[in-house]
Amino acid sequence: MAGLEDLYREIILDHYRSPRNRGDLPSPPAVRVEGFNPLCGDEVVVYLDVVDAVVVDLKISGQGCSISQSSASMMSAAVKGRSVEEARALVRSFKALMSIHEAQLETDDADAPGAAGPDVLDADALGELAALQGVVKFPVRIKCATLPWNTLSQGLDEVGPATS
Amino acid sequence: MAGLEDLYREIILDHYRSPRNRGDLPSPPAVRVEGFNPLCGDEVVVYLDVVDAVVVDLKISGQGCSISQSSASMMSAAVKGRSVEEARALVRSFKALMSIHEAQLETDDADAPGAAGPDVLDADALGELAALQGVVKFPVRIKCATLPWNTLSQGLDEVGPATS
Amino acid sequence: MTGGGDVGATRGTGPERLDPRALRKEFPLLAPDRPGGPVVYLDSAASSQRPRAVLEAMDEYYTTTHANVHRGVYAIAEEATRRYEAARVAVGRFVRAPRPATEIVFTKNVTEAINLVAYTWARKELRPGDAILVSELEHHANLVPWLMLAEERGIELRFLPLAPDYHLDLTDLDRLLDGARLVALSAASNVLGTVVDLEPVVAAAHRAGALVLVDGAQLAPHRPVDLGRVGADFFGFTGHKMLGPTGIGVLWAREELLDAMPPFLGGGEMIRDVRTDGFTSNDLPWKFEAGTPPIAEAVGLAAAVEYLERVGLERVHAHESALTAYAIDRLRDAHGEQLTIFGPEPDPLRRSGVISFAFAGVHPHDVAQVLDTRGICVRAGHHCAKPLMRCLGVGATTRASLYLYNDEDDVDALVDGLAEVRELFA
Amino acid sequence: MTGGGDVGATRGTGPERLDPRALRKEFPLLAPDRPGGPVVYLDSAASSQRPRAVLEAMDEYYTTTHANVHRGVYAIAEEATRRYEAARVAVGRFVRAPRPATEIVFTKNVTEAINLVAYTWARKELRPGDAILVSELEHHANLVPWLMLAEERGIELRFLPLAPDYHLDLTDLDRLLDGARLVALSAASNVLGTVVDLEPVVAAAHRAGALVLVDGAQLAPHRPVDLGRVGADFFGFTGHKMLGPTGIGVLWAREELLDAMPPFLGGGEMIRDVRTDGFTSNDLPWKFEAGTPPIAEAVGLAAAVEYLERVGLERVHAHESALTAYAIDRLRDAHGEQLTIFGPEPDPLRRSGVISFAFAGVHPHDVAQVLDTRGICVRAGHHCAKPLMRCLGVGATTRASLYLYNDEDDVDALVDGLAEVRELFA
Ligand SMILES: Cc1ncc(COP(=O)(O)O)c(C=O)c1O
Ligand SMILES: Cc1ncc(COP(=O)(O)O)c(C=O)c1O
């Protein structure tokens, strides 16, 4: 069985206690997107300020568990200053990290051959976000971790056509 | 367990093979009442000719199993020529015969003290109809046996007010 | 073959025939030492028996893993949810549902599944004057919901007639489809044993712009179903007729349809958000599963389909076809003129193992009663198909129905039992 | 006391307190040697565990007696019918239903029971502009059906507010009842532990000409219910919260009401006759039980109520009241300011063993997660009561709920577990 230390890495608790980029942005010009998890009531609001296809500013508000909130905080740090393109790639990588593990869990064999490849790759690309990979051992919490990312993704879609 | 001989007494099969008072009566003046058992599709039609509060004629048609049809046949023989009052008493006795046994069955003890009294009484009053008392050992068939009686009872109610 | 516990249930890919006697060892109610005496169970069309594996799967679930699903963070609740959703996928795959995780809705029985479509899709889409086409051989479950709707909304109910060979008469199909929005049809009759050739009906219905609901209650337990090939829009079946528990049924429908349908029952689980002035529905399939679902029953049904797959549906089908031919032969041989079978001639594709008959001079109730004293279980009555009874011109029939655990001995017992019936009522 | 199998379940008439440790021996999931590790189960408000007697009753039914009910002539089918109908009477007597044989309808859960009333009685009787009065503490099961109806028919939905003491505020009751045709109310909250004093509400509603539906899902498992005394018109409860199986719920309603209500689901069993142009409904209660009912589940629920009666509902109630007081005391003592309990003060009559709380600085999800690693099962979320969450000003709560098998050790484990939560998130 997975232990608490897999889930609550120090860096996660740190982001939970001291969330980065917390707050809001005037909207417009910023895009405001809400996401929420109907099952547990977690809410994330993402404010995106995109200029010339670059995420020049990004703020997070909302409430929720340590996983959704720290994931949002880490995401904000990782995405701020990146191009829309790069941000999209990050969303993909992060979701792949979550779903690859999900697939592994389904086969009940985390050491299945071939499973390590893409996983390590993603973890590298994601930097400190890789700390969240322990979440996949707790399937109900995956939705918490991906909530801010799905919300961001929606926001990127909204700004996408207008700025690029 | 109850055996077939409890259910299919010779006299029952005889009435089934050669039903008494089979046919119909012009209605009006006769009263025509239909009864049916939704679960098995048995149908009984009772034609009642009541003059001066006496059942001067009675015919039966319909279709159904040996129990409903022989019960109808025996009933017709027992009721024909009787006063409406006497017919009503017979209905009550017959239904008591059926339900007393039902009550016995519910206690799972056919030899329960006190059970024999009213039963024997009814059986005496009912004459050859008492042959049907084996039916109560087969609870789903009780509805078959009582179907013609319920139909008759309805018919008596219809003529009742007008003739007595 | 040795007498091991699951000898009969070896993987169903080989060409060997199944061995009902070995299978029966796994069905406690069919054991020769059953308290109350052994039974010859010929009533699987009403409800099947279930193997020990199904009861054990439910007990194991209850004793190790039960918690309410979908809302718990703790391990047992997570595992309960996983098993419930895995059961959905297993049951969906059993009928080759294209998207089992979203298109399979658990209901309490197939009757609820059909009513769900009547209350949601049909009440939203149908207008006064629209027509629904059913057939003369429908079970009440696929008739009364449409009668209720017809009365409430001024919908016209039309009937595909039965031909003298006990198959549906499709001669007038195109005319009957004119103005029809829905065709609601049994895949297999629970009275006649008729297996409907769905493909031409589905094709014609779709050409005419009507959707097709298939009542698969008597099909899914007995032969492989491939929903892709059937081509229907809605398909329902029921757990207790296919070795599963009572209390569970299944509705499959195409995702786009489910998406566009309004919810049916309101409550927990089917919502995404509730405010004092409204609510938004949950994702598929939970949108249609209000309240605590039949969790243990889903686990049991998954064990049942796993069992059936292990035996092999092709093999079940082949066995039943052969046994049906044997039974009809033996019955006619032994009881000749006295016996009239209501149903098509034996045919592996177009006939199932449901055999309804009349026994001249003896009412079905009496036939069943006499057989019961010999431990033979057959059904007598209208089989929840009263309009069909009227077509047949009878009030009731006696019905023997076969399943994987029946064999020639059961048929022989029936044939011998009928000889006693004949004597008694001679 | 010796450690025999049913020590805890001695007849519940004596004054002795029940012995949860002895009872627990009869609940396999709660055994110390459970595969996967022992659990401290504090989530019975979501779904209870069940004693071996309930599982054995269902297995015994399936392995000796299963057949479809109400239509069979043969002995097994007769016996299955007898057991199913006996279960109805047993379950009806458990809540002192005046006419259990006709007034108890089996559904798949209490959610269906409430929807049944919404689809039949309410859709027949209510007119645009009529009002339905619910409360702010309702579970979605007793809210969404009325929201759906309100939207469909232009019915006004009104809310009895919650007072600061977490009881319903009845000050405006008479005004809120003006124009109301139905009051739909939980007898006990699944979030707050509030037990509603139904009698004044029922009296006022009846005076105002409104009927009363009571959602008894959280009441019936925990204390004696006397439907005569409650005085409601409709009363629902659900099997899996009261030691019974999943897949079964119960609707009780007064016979005159059931008689006048149109049928709900159409199909077999609920009809008396079907023609191609219409149908007539069956007698009560079968009119409302379309299709094959949850037969084994009814047998299991009857075993559950028999078990509860053997233990004694008075005793269950007394035990839970005492344990609730202990728990609230211990929690406050150990966690002081960090812990906020959403619910009334301990009170044997007006409070149940459902304890929802906030733990400052830690989200309920995280609380439940940490507790889970210690084998402690509590629920975190909105508990299917979103409007209530908005009243409380939170998105979710952590909820521990007590039942007959819980004891001080379970409470102590919770208190200790919360200490770890505090440390981890300090
Ligand atoms: C107060 C209340 N009402 C209704 C329900 C719904 O019960 P079920 O899901 O069994 O229909 C619940 C339980 O979830 C409840 O606590
Ligand atoms: C063809 C058919 N449809 C529907 C049903 C109804 O099934 P259930 O009672 O499980 O809803 C049956 C069985 O009784 C059936 O044979």
What is the per-residue pLDDT across A86-134, written as a single tens digit (0 to 9) for each?
999 999 999 998 885 444 444 433 333 333 334 344 556 678 888 998 9
Pocket of ligand 2 contains residue C111 by CB under 6 Å? yes
Say if the Cβ atoms of D47 and C66 lie within 8 Å.
yes
Note the pLDDT tens digit of each residue in D19-43.
Answer: 999 999 999 999 999 988 899 999 9
C402, C414 contact by CB (below 8 A):
no
Would you state the pLDDT for residue D2? 32
The count of C-alpha atoms lying within 13 angstroms of the C-alpha of D198, restricted to the half-sphere facing its C-beta, is: 26
Question: Across the interface, which of B38, B139, B140 has its CB nearest the CB of D272?
Answer: B38
CATH 3.40.640.10 fits C56-309, yes or no: yes
Question: Across the interface, which of A3, A13, A63 has its CB nearest the CB of D395?
Answer: A63
Cβ-proximal residues to D256 (8 Å cutoff; 6+ apart), any chain: none
Say if the Cβ atoms of D424 and A3 lie within 8 Å.
no
Closest to D364 in 3D by CA, of C324, C67, A66, C404: A66
Note the pLDDT tens digit of each residue in C300-338.
Answer: 999 999 999 999 999 999 999 999 999 999 999 999 999
What does the pLDDT average to over D258-282? 93
C100, C160 contact by CB (below 8 A):
no
Asked whether residue D54 carries a pLDDT value surpassing 60, the answer given is yes
Contacts of B138 in chain D (CB under 8 A): 78
Closest to A32 in 3D by CA, of A3, A2, A7, A62: A62
What does the pLDDT average to over C209-225? 98
CA distance C133 to C98: 26
Would you state the pLDDT for residue C15? 58
Going from the Cα of C196 to the center of ligand 2, the distance in angstroms, rounded, reads: 16
Task: Please give, rounded to a whole number of angstroms, the shortest distance from the CA of A3 to a CA of chain D.
Answer: 7
Would you state the pLDDT for residue D338? 96
Catalytic residue among C69, C196, C384, C388: C384
- Joined together, the tokens standing for residue C169 give 């008469």
3-state secondary structure of B112: coil
Would you state the pLDDT for residue D4? 33
Q: Which ligand is nearest to the CA of C141?
A: 2
Pocket of ligand 1 contains residue D110 by CB under 6 Å? yes
Going from the Cα of D18 to the center of ligand 1, the distance in angstroms, rounded, reads: 26
Closest to C279 in 3D by CA, of D108, D116, D185, D157: D157
Asked whether residue D217 carries a pLDDT value surpassing 70, the answer given is yes
End-to-end Cα separation, chain C, in angstroms: 44
What does the pLDDT average to over D194-213? 98
Probe residue for ligand 2, chosen from C190, C225, C352 as the CB with the greatest number of ligand atoms within 8 Å: C190
The answer to the question of residue B61 being in a domain is yes
Contacts of A140 in chain C (CB under 8 A): 72-73, 78, 81
C137, C191 contact by CB (below 8 A):
yes
Distances in whole angstroms, Cα of residue C195 to Cα of each of C189, C348, C387, C398: 7, 9, 18, 19
| Confidence band for C6, pLDDT divided at 50, 70 and 90 | very low
Q: Which residues of C239-253 are buried (b: 16+ CB within 10 A; e: fewer)?
A: bbbbbbbbbbbbbbb
The answer to the question of residue A164 being in a domain is no
Which residue's CA is minimally distant from atom 13 of ligand 2?
A: C46
Question: Across the interface, which of A3, A41, A144 has its CB nearest the CB of D373?
Answer: A3
| Confidence band for D12, pLDDT divided at 50, 70 and 90 | very low
pLDDT mean across residues, chain C: 95
Rounded to 10°, the helix B66-79/B139-163 angle is 30
**CA C287 from chain center: how many Å?**
24
Q: How many B-C residue pairs are in contact by the CB < 8 A criterion?
A: 50
3-state secondary structure of C275: strand
C71 in A contact zone (CB under 8 Å): yes
Rounded to 10°, the helix C364-373/B66-79 angle is 120
3-state secondary structure of B26: coil
Please give the residue range of the domain that contains residue B22.
4-159
Would you state the pLDDT for residue D3? 32
The answer to the question of residue B102 being in a domain is yes
Would you state the pLDDT for residue A115? 38
CATH 3.90.1150.10 domain extents, chain D:
9-49+312-425
Cβ-proximal residues to C55 (8 Å cutoff; 6+ apart), any chain: C28, C300, D59, D62, D63
CATH of C9-49+312-425, one of 3.20.80.10, 3.40.50.2300, 3.90.1150.10, 3.40.50.2000: 3.90.1150.10
Would you state the pLDDT for residue C8? 41
Would you state the pLDDT for residue C78? 92
Q: Which residues of C42-71 are buried (b: 16+ CB within 10 A; e: fewer)?
A: bbbbbbbbbbbbbbebbbbbbbbbbbbbbb
Would you state the pLDDT for residue D413? 98
Q: Cis (ω within 30 of 0) for the bond into C15?
A: no
Going from the Cα of D68 to the center of ligand 2, the distance in angstroms, rounded, reads: 11
Say if the Cβ atoms of D395 and A42 lie within 8 Å.
yes
Looking at per-residue pLDDT, the higher value among C75 and A107 belongs to: C75
C207 in A contact zone (CB under 8 Å): no
Probe residue for ligand 1, chosen from D134, D168, D215, D383 as the CB with the greatest number of ligand atoms within 8 Å: D215
Closest to D268 in 3D by CA, of C241, C193, C167: C241
Does A contact B via 3+ CB–CB distances below 8 Å? Answer: no
Burial (0-12, 13-18, 19+ Cβ within 10 Å), A122: buried
Would you state the pLDDT for residue A123? 54
CA distance C266 to B122: 54
Note the pLDDT tens digit of each residue in C20-31.
Answer: 999 999 999 999
C70 in A contact zone (CB under 8 Å): yes
The count of C-alpha atoms lying within 13 angstroms of the C-alpha of A151, restricted to the half-sphere facing its C-beta, is: 31
Would you state the pLDDT for residue B128? 85
Label each residue of C247-266 as H, E or C: CCEEEEECHHHHHHCCCCCC
CATH 3.40.640.10 domain extents, chain D:
56-309
Q: Kindly report the CATH number assigned to the domain that includes residue A85.
A: 3.90.1010.10
Pocket of ligand 1 contains residue D19 by CB under 6 Å? no
Q: Which helix (H) or strand (E) holds C105?
A: strand C104-107
* Residue D212 β-bridge partners: D183
**In chain A, how many domains are there?**
1
Contacts of B64 in chain C (CB under 8 A): 363, 365, 395
Q: Which value, in Å, is the radius of gyration of the alpha carbons in chain B?
A: 16
Note the pLDDT tens digit of each residue in C392-417.
Answer: 999 899 999 999 999 999 999 999 99
Would you state the pLDDT for residue B123? 54
CA distance C181 to D65: 43
Would you state the pLDDT for residue A161? 56
| β C131-135/C156-160 pair status | parallel
Q: Is C384 a catalytic residue?
A: yes
Best of A36, A45, A66 to substitute, by most chain D Cβ atoms within 10 angstroms, is: A66
Task: Please give, rounded to a whole number of angstroms, the shortest distance from the CA of C15 to a CA of chain D.
Answer: 31
End-to-end Cα separation, chain A, in angstroms: 46
The set of catalytic residues of D is 384
| Confidence band for D10, pLDDT divided at 50, 70 and 90 | very low
Per cent of chain D over pLDDT 70 is 96
| Confidence band for C110, pLDDT divided at 50, 70 and 90 | very high
D315, D263 contact by CB (below 8 A):
no
- Joined together, the tokens standing for residue D68 give 């479809």
Asked whether residue C263 carries a pLDDT value surpassing 90, the answer given is yes
Say if the Cβ atoms of D63 and C55 lie within 8 Å.
yes
The answer to the question of residue B164 being in a domain is no
Would you state the pLDDT for residue B125? 64
Give C328-358 as a DSSP string. Answer: HHHHHHHHGGGEEEESPPP-TTTB-SEEEEE
- Stretches where chain B sits below pLDDT 50 are 101-121, 162-164
Complex confidence, ipTM: 0.91
